[in-house]
Homo-oligomer: A and B are copies of this chain.
Amino acid sequence: MSEQETVQDGLAELEALPGGARAALEAVLMVIDQPATSEELAAGLNVTVAVVEDLLQDLQREYSGYTVKAPDVDAVGFADASTAPRGFELRNVAGGWRIYSRSDFADIVGRFVLEGQTTRLTQAALETLAVIAYRQPVSRARVSAIRGVNVDSVVRTLTQRGLIEDSGNDPESGAVLYRTTSYFLERMGIGSVAELPQLSPHLPGLEGIEEYYDASRM
């Protein structure tokens, strides 16, 4: 049996279940406790990545209040419940898919979910996090130099919060280097650090200094 056939069998098997492949994917999304990539989901469901990605997009649209069949629904003049947004959404963050409660309901959900509530970061912590995010991997000393203050305790807090992590040592100085974690991406709701806002528009009158100061990193 070729691999292609196996994959096809997987899909056929799923479609035979009540609710089909889409419901099967939903069932898997119910038990994951961290973002799952489309590859992982495809492997688990025994279908191709393309199939899973189509299904994920369908679900995402449906949860947000538009079914794939919206035109038909309009045509029959019947506003079905499924066109209203659901209380949850499917998002692709930190390279994986995961179900979140919709932000409109944050106040209500917050009454039930005490933990995982993170206290707001201080301005100092935010600035340190920003420097690490844009300069990673980076040593404490370098972050200190940029911020003009000692950042040891802030770095400790950020590490404890799981927003940054040790990424080995600088080959020259031996200093511990820090980088942001995938949890950081999750908290920012982005797929990778490349999606962070551009730094350059915030640097005024930069001509020449950029190359001078940090040619390789801006």
Most B Cβ at <10 Å: residue of A43, A46, A111, A150: A150
Stretch of A1-9, A77-85, A125-133, A195-203 lying at the B interface: A77-85
Given A78-B72, A81-B82, A162-B176 contact (CB < 8 Å): no
A31 CB to nearest chain B CB (Å): 5
A81 touches B101 (CB 8 A): no
A33 touches B156 (CB 8 A): yes
Number of copies: 2
Residues of B within 8 A of A32 (CB): 112-113
Docked complex Cα distance between A153 and B34 (Å): 9
Which A30-87 residues sit within 8 Å CB-CB of chain B?
Answer: 30-34, 36, 40-41, 43-46, 62, 65, 67-69, 72-73, 76, 78, 80-82, 84-87
Docked complex Cα distance between A135 and B166 (Å): 25
Docked complex Cα distance between A88 and B27 (Å): 5
A57 CB to nearest chain B CB (Å): 14
Given A23-B87, A27-B87, A82-B67, A115-B44 contact (CB < 8 Å): yes
Q: List 17 A-B contacts (CB under 8 A).
A: A14-B108, A23-B85, A23-B105, A26-B101, A27-B102, A28-B112, A30-B101, A31-B112, A36-B112, A40-B112, A45-B108, A45-B112, A46-B111, A67-B82, A68-B81, A69-B80, A114-B174
Given contacts A27-B105, A81-B82, A150-B181, 13 further A-B contacts (CB under 8 A): A17-B104, A18-B84, A23-B84, A27-B108, A27-B109, A28-B101, A29-B87, A30-B101, A33-B153, A73-B78, A116-B152, A145-B160, A150-B163
